[in-house]
Amino acid sequence: MQVEDHNLRIFRILYIIKGILILLFAFLPVFYIFLGVFLFYNEGTPEAQSHFGSLLVICIGIMVFLFLLVLGILTLLTAKYLGETRNYDFIFVMAIINCLTGVLGILLGIFTILELNKPHVKRLFGKQV
């Protein structure tokens, strides 16, 4: 029986959980999109008022939705690559990006960076030490 001296499986599971949570939170801005559409059609007569506010709410909702969707997909890809021990640079960059996404992201990003810098983990990814 081979003993693993790295924590990549644990980080893979944590990245899967974080990716799913991000994808679930990506549906919160959809509420703002529907709110903006509701405001757009219920502001009174089109000649009397500007629709700038409702269009702004719709645009911000769409941008936040797309940002969270892409971040969630990239986080799940990070989990996949951790399991396959490939794309070291992609995982490293995503660990840095995750440091910008709240407490869970900071902890996960820092510990992933620390784990990726170990010499035996670098050898798993085919990097020269």
**Residue closest to 65 by CA, chosen among 8, 16, 26, 103:** 26
Q: What is the pTM of this model?
A: 0.86
Q: Domain spans of the chain?
A: 8-124
Residue 84 burial (10 A CB sphere; 0-12, 13-18, 19+) = exposed
Give pLDDT, residue 48. 45
The predicted structure's pLDDT at residue 20: 97
CA distance 112 to 97: 12
Q: Please report the pLDDT score of residue 89 as a whole number.
A: 95
- Tell me what pLDDT residue 1 has: 46
Reading the block at residue 75, the tokens are 């986080």
Please tell me the predicted confidence (pLDDT) of residue 44. 62
The DSSP 8-state label assigned to residue 49 in this structure reads S
Quote the CA–CA distance of 119 and 127 in Å, as a whole number: 9
State residue 37's pLDDT score.
86
Flag residues of the chain having pLDDT under 50.
1, 48
| pLDDT value at residue 7 | 87
What does the pLDDT read at residue 4?
67
Q: How far apart are the first and last CA of the chain?
A: 26
